[in-house]
Amino acid sequence: MTWNNGDPLTADDVIFNLQRWCERDVEGNSMAARFATLIDKDSGKLADGIVEPVDWNVGSNAWVVRRKDGKWWGCEACLDGVDFIDYGTDPSAEIAAFESGEIDLNHESITEFIEIPDTRDLVRSEAVNSATVCARTNVANAPYDDKRVRQA
């Protein structure tokens, strides 16, 4: 991945931008409120996090473990580690993983499969939020190059 000038995008570039977004004292910076859980309340700086990555396999899994120093803003992680597994788009693979004991929880159950987990010994929880979805159009291409279409 590169910037538009051809320079490579590095982890340091990402960290730099996250730190800028977390600057809560910058007037008009609404991102700081959105990233509040990542900001150390005392220092106002981007925190390292309670876990550190061990392995990352796109389309397969990501594995994180508790930081070796064990502390994060004065508390300790309750888990030794977490393995995030990508089961793809077939919900039956996730149901099979529950049944085999391979997984303990999932992020969401889609509507067509919502009743299946209810027949298993699983606990359902719900998180209501005010998430915002932003859709952007490429105004250099039809039909969005027509101002009337964008205003419709």
Q: Give the containing element (helix H, strand E) for 83.
A: strand 81-85
What would the pLDDT profile of 76-120 be if each residue is shown by its tens digit? 777 888 899 999 888 889 889 988 989 888 888 877 777 887 888
- Which class in CATH covers the domain with range 50-151? alpha beta
Domain with CATH 3.40.190.10 in the chain: 50-151
Tell me the whole-structure pTM to 2 decimals: 0.53
> Which residues are within 8 A (CB) of 84 and not within 5 positions of it... i.e. 6 or more apart?
61, 62, 63, 64
